[in-house]
Structure 1
């Protein structure tokens, strides 16, 4: 299913380094990309070990990068955490990355709401529910959503 018909022209290690030179990847994500390129599990294991040993691959650095990107897009901690879990980043690393980013999630929720709704308060329950759903989808907690919407 994943393997191509032609064998890869570069070693798994070279492919891994090439992928990592373009942007940070998590361990699982890198392994998946190498698998799609047609490398064996053994080659992938050795390439990842090499990258870890030389600090080319670092899940914490990757998680911090992802947190920054998502914060820039106006996403809350829940959504960021969920997306990193899907990429098989450990719960502990996710917590550290979110904590070290130092984002005020309440203020980010407020900024996101202001940007989306242009500072207008909901006129009725239906509109308020729509605003709440939008912020929930963005990954904010109910307390953060309440703060964001009452401050408009």
Structure 2
């Protein structure tokens, strides 16, 4: 039997259940509650209260998302795009990427090493293939170019 979200208590309970599983952004949580049938005014009130209590935090959500996606082998361009598509402010996303302390060169090297066993491309076709893969993963073209040309990423 589905839960009826017609009271502030019910909306809060479902929101807290979702937050207990993982961090959510406000836009994402609003969408999920709306899909479950909650009224917009109940959602806004519940989320405002959760934010005041520190249970809903965009900063924590951004930190967790950036960390998770980086560990999964994705670069800053892809992560930025995904967060922007999720309705987060561009400035907040940029700040989260800066504050993450992630060495994107190191992550690029590790992703390339896992996918291509550290073998530099032998011809233009292989270079294009490796470049497309790393670009799709969200790494900047300048870092990819240096890596695939055999230049050390430590400069």
Answering whether residue 145 of structure 2 is matched by residue 146 of structure 1, we say yes
Runs of 4+ in 1 over 3 A off after TM superposition: 5-10
Scaled by the length of structure 1, the TM-score of the pair is 0.91
Q: Helix, strand or coil: the match of 2:99?
A: helix
User: Which residue of the partner structure matches residue 58 of structure 1?
Assistant: 57
Q: Supply the distance in 1 between the matched residues of 2:136 and 2:98 (Cα, whole angstroms).
A: 21
Q: Helix, strand or coil: the match of 1:24?
A: coil
State the 1:75 CA deviation: 0.7
Structure 2: where are the runs of 5+ without partners? Answer: none
Scaled by the length of structure 2, the TM-score of the pair is 0.89
Answering whether residue 13 of structure 2 is matched by residue 14 of structure 1, we say yes
The Cα offsets for residues 97-142 of structure 1, whole Å up to 9 and x where unpaired, read as 1111111112211111111100111121111101000000000111
Q: Helix, strand or coil: the match of 2:114?
A: helix
Q: Supply the distance in 2 between the matched residues of 1:39 and 1:76 (Cα, whole angstroms).
A: 36
> Equivalences for 1:44-123 in 2 at 5 Å?
44-123=43-122
Q: Supply the distance in 1 between the matched residues of 2:92 and 2:31 (Cα, whole angstroms).
A: 20
